[in-house]
Amino acid sequence: MTIKTITTQPFTDQRPGTSGLRKRVRVFQQAHYLENFVQAIFNTLSDCQGQTLVIGGDGRYYNREALNIILRMAAANGVGRMLVGQHGILSTPAVSCIIRKYKALGGIVLSASHNPGGPDADFGIKYNVSNGGPAPERITEQIFQHSLNIREYRTFDAADIQLDELGEQSLGDMQIVVIDSVADYAELMEQLFDFERMSQALRSGALSIRFDGMNAVTGPYAHAILEQRLGAPAGSVIRGTPLPDFGGDHPDPNLAHAQELAALMFSPHAPDLGAASDGDGDRNMILGKDCYITPSDSLAILAANATLVPGYAQGLAGVARSMPTSRAVDRVAETLGIECFETPTGWKFFGNLLDAGRITLCGEESFGTSSDHVREKDGLWAVLFWLNILAVRQESVQAIVQQHWATYGRNFYTRHDYEAVDAERAQALVDDLRRRGSELVGQRFGSVEIDYCDDFSYTDPIDDSVSHNQGLRIGLRGSGGEARIVYRLSGTGTQGATLRVYIERHEPDPERHDQDPQSALADLITLSQELAQIAAYTGRTAPSVIT
C-alpha cells in the first residue's frame, strides 16, 4: 500500500449549501469530482493529523463507493482513526452523537437527506465539526475556496475496506473501527426518555405506534429502539430496511410521500401515534388518529410539555426556530418566560445558541426538530419525545393538540413549494419583490393591510456574525388575526430552484380551530401569489407540493 498524489483540475460548482454539497450521482461519479471536494475538506482541516473522524451515510446509491474513496484519502492525509458505521450506515443525528461522545475532530456525512436516491438521483456530502453540528459558513467557505484552487489530491493505493463486520482494521497508519450504527445513539435516547414507562405502555397495549422508515436510514434505529428495546409489536416499523434507491420512493416524511402511513392514520384502524423519518434520519412527521401535526405545532407542543420528559424535567433554557417556521413556539416561550430566537433556515444557525446554553429545543418547519443532545435535527428523537408525552398524559394526540390550541391559539400555517423552476426567473421574482417592498407597506388588499416588508438578516448573538438576504417577510394586520407571508429560495435541491412560500395566520378563537388550513388561509394564499406575480415569473399556476 502506497500513498499516491493525483494531479487534478478545479471544478467551479462545489460551493456547499445549507446542507453540504448536493448534486446528481453522475456528477459525483465524474473523475476527480468527489476526490477534489474531499481533499478541499482535508486542506481546510489543518489539524487532522492523528485525529479521529466519524463517517457514515444513509445507504443511498454510491454510498459505499464514496465511503471507500474517503477512507483511502483520510489515510493518505494523516487522519489517525476513522469511526465507520457498520455497512457504511449512520443516520445524521447518530453521526452528531458519536462525534460528541468520542470527542472526534468532526465527521463526514454522506447523504442528500430527503432527496430521491438511485443512479439517476441525488447524492450529497457534508462536514460536521467537533460540536457535532454542520460546519459553519466560515468553514464551508474555506472548503469552497480550497476547491477552486486545488491542483492535486492524496489517496492510498489499496483495496476496498471491509464494512460489514464490527471491529478494527488498518489502512497504512490509520486505524479504522467499524462500529454498531445504532448502539451509541440508542444509549443516548435511554438517558433522555423514560424507556420503562414507554415500554410498559407499548407492551400492555395501552399505547400503539406505526413508524415508517421510508426504506431509509432510520429503519434499523427504529427496529432496535421501538420494537426490540421498547417492545412495540413486530410490524410497528414499516419500510425499515435501507435501500440504495429507497425502494423507488421519495424519502421525504410528508403526507404526499408516506401515503400508506397517512391512509392508516385516517382510518378506523389507526394506532395512537403515527410517525415517519427521512433519508438520513434527521426529519420527522407526526400524526395522531385523524390528525396531522405540523412541524411548527410539534415544536411548540414539545416545548410546552418538556418537563414531562426526564431529560428536560428541569425546564428549558430557551427555544429557537427558523424564520419561516410558524410563530407558535414564540407564544409558548412567552408564557414560560424563556428566550425565543428567530434564525435563518439551516441547522448550523442553532449551533452557537446550543453551545452557549441559550436554548434547549429548536426546530424548522421543514420537518426538523431537536434539542441540545446533539447538534443536528433528529427524527427518531422527536418521535420518542411524543411517545413519552403520550405515555405520561394518557390522552390522544388530537386531545393534546386541541388543548394546546385552546391555551395558545392556533397558528394556521402552510407551505407552498414551486419546485424545479427556472433559477434565473425565480431570482428575478425575489429581486422584484425586494425592490417593491417599501412601496407595499400600508397598502390594503381586501381585509388586510401590509404592516411591514423586509429582507430577513440575522446577527448571531454569540459570535456577532451576520447573515443577509435570508428570505422576504411580509407582515399583515387586519381582520382574522396577525398574519405573515414569507418567500424564500431553497438551497436543498439539485435541479433549478425551488420557491417556497409560507403563509401563516394566528387564530385565538377556539371555535375556529377546526378549519382546514388551506380554507382558513385561502385569502392569504391568493394574495401571496398575486404579490409576487408567481404565475408570470414561473409559469406555474399552482404549487408542486403543499404541506
Q: Looking at 96, 113, 298, 322, which residue is catalytic?
A: 113
The CA dihedral of 144, 146, 148, 152, to the nearest 10 degrees, is -140
Nearest CA to 56 out of 155, 177, 139 is that of 177
- Work out the burial of residue 443: count CB atoms within 10 Å of its CB; fewer than 13 is exposed, 13-18 middle, 19 or more buried: exposed
CB-CB neighbours of 502 under 10 Å: 23
Angle at 39 between CA 33 and CA 42, to 5 degrees: 150
Nearest CA to 275 out of 185, 378, 204 is that of 378
User: What is the pairing mode between strands 318-322 and 361-364?
Assistant: parallel
3-state secondary structure of 301: helix
Query: Is 113 noted as a catalytic residue in this protein?
Result: yes
**Per-residue CA distances from 194 to 227, 233, 281, 370 (Å):** 15, 19, 21, 17
Nearest CA to 351 out of 323, 313, 377 is that of 377
3-state secondary structure of 61: coil
- Work out the burial of residue 542: count CB atoms within 10 Å of its CB; fewer than 13 is exposed, 13-18 middle, 19 or more buried: exposed
Place of cell 441540545: 372
Strand-pair partners of 411: 506
Strand-pair partners of 300: none
Place of cell 438520513: 280
361, 306 in Cβ contact below 8 A? Answer: yes
Nine cell digits for residue 285: 412527521
Place of cell 401590509: 450
C-alpha of 183 from chain center:
22
3-state secondary structure of 13: coil
DSSP of 424-482, one letter per residue?
Answer: HHHHHHHHHHHHHHHHHTT-EETTEEEEEEEE--EE-TTT--EE----EEEEEEETTS-
Q: How far apart are CA 294 and CA 267, in angstroms?
A: 19
Q: How far apart are CA 504 and CA 77, in angstroms?
A: 50
Nine cell digits for residue 349: 444557525
Nearest CA to 340 out of 324, 361, 313 is that of 361
215 φ, ψ to 5°?
55, 30
Residue 456 backbone class (left: φ over 0; alpha: ψ -120 to 50; beta: rest): beta
Give the catalytic positions in this structure.
113
